[in-house]
């Protein structure tokens, strides 16, 4: 009898977590870091989960967060989830930038999907350039327009 009651309570908690998740207000993104690599970008997100969602993820795994994490970068095509856990995720965007006359250019894109951009600003957004330097922006709702010089594959003597 206790087992049945425990299962019912667990299912009720899971149902409540799913209902809370339907509103899209169960992941609170605190910080995003964008690593530039050629015309690709890796986005590392640090977030917190609503308590019921946390229980849901503990029970069923982070795979159920994937649609929400992918929709966070919904204004990009070719987004792939690399890893996710209870506190953060990494997503790869192929073709996030474009090459033009020796520079890689990355246009600003709103966070969220085309039909549902985020309204609250992300507390901290950092861009990590291939050279290693970092530029940080605060309280943003979109990526920033950035560019960097492409490094040639070979020097003039033909050696790398």
Of 42, 45, 43, give the one whose Cα is nearest residue 29: 45
CA distances from 44 to 11, 53, 84, 85 (A): 32, 20, 10, 12
Percent of the chain with pLDDT over 70: 80
Note the pLDDT of residue 113. Answer: 87
The residue count for the chain: 160
Note the pLDDT of residue 151. Answer: 81
Average per-residue pLDDT in the chain?
Answer: 86
Of 120, 160, 121, give the one whose Cα is nearest residue 144: 121
Q: Could you state, in order of their start, the residue ranges of all structural domains in the chain?
A: 2-149
| pLDDT > 60? residue 147 | yes
Outline where 37-95 has alpha helix (H): 51-60, 66-72
| pLDDT > 80? residue 11 | no
pTM of the model: 0.80
The mean pLDDT value for 104-113 works out to 95
Indicate the pLDDT class of residue 20, thresholds 50, 70 and 90: very low
Distance CA 49, CA 52 (A): 8
The mean pLDDT value for 117-142 works out to 95
- Mean pLDDT comparison of 8-12, 57-61, 65-69, highest-scoring range: 65-69
């Amino acid at each position: 009898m206790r087992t049945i009651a425990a299962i019912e309570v667990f299912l009720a908690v899971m149902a409540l977590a799913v209902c809370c998740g339907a509103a899209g207000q169960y992941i609170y993104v605190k910080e995003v870091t964008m690593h530039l690599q050629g015309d690709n970008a890796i986005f590392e997100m640090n977030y917190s989960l609503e308590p019921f969602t946390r229980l849901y993820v503990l029970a069923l795994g982070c795979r159920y967060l994937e649609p929400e994490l992918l929709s966070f970068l919904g204004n990009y095509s070719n987004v792939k989830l690399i890893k996710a856990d209870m506190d953060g995720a990494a997503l790869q965007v192929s073709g996030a930038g474009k090459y033009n006359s020796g520079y890689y250019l990355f246009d600003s894109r709103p966070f969220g999907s085309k039909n549902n951009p985020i309204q609250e600003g992300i507390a901290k957004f950092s861009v990590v350039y291939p050279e290693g330097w970092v530029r940080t922006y605060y309280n943003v709702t979109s990526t920033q327009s950035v560019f960097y010089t492409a490094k040639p594959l070979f020097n003039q003597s033909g050696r790398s």
